[in-house]
Amino acid sequence: MASYSIRGANKMGMFYFMEAIFPIFFVIVFGMIIVTFIRGIKEWSNNNQQPVLSVAAKIVAKRKHTSTNMHHTNEHHHHHHTSTDYYITFEVESGDRMEFYVSSKEYGLLAEGDMGKLTFQGTRYHGFERKL
């Protein structure tokens, strides 16, 4: 009959605990990836079913979101990756506001207060023609 010390039993208990938790953690992470993928496909499909609309609009706000990722290697090298997403909020004649993801070029060319014609399809931004 084998005898285990309290220390040995503790290590075995931790091993079995981790063995049980890892598959659950894997399923949760994999599930989140699948849900995100399905939501993206649904949004893409929904946008394709919407008509392309062009409406009078005014730019009421601009914002950007910058995220930075830093990676370390064994040789103590640091790799930085920074990305910026650009958004513009438009207000249409009815008073409704819509925010769209835009390219950095569009973001730089447009200013708050600009008025013109907004073209979009669902949540997909197609362009903005400024009225001079």
> How does pLDDT run across 79-125, given as a tens digit for each residue?
778 999 999 999 999 999 999 999 999 999 999 999 999 999 999 99
d(CA 25, CA 74): 27
3-state secondary structure of 112: coil
CA–CA separation, 124 and 47 (whole Å): 7
Q: What is the pLDDT of residues 23-49, one digit of tens each?
A: 888 899 999 999 999 999 999 999 899
Q: Record the pTM.
A: 0.70
Same domain, 22 and 84: no
DSSP three-state, residue 110: coil
The total of structural domains in the chain comes to 2
84 and 35 housed in the same domain: no
What's the start-to-end Cα distance of the chain, in Å?
91
Q: Are 55 and 125 in contact (CB under 8 A)?
A: no
Residue 59 belongs to a domain with what CATH number? 2.40.50.660
According to DSSP, the residues that pair with 25 across neighbouring strands are none
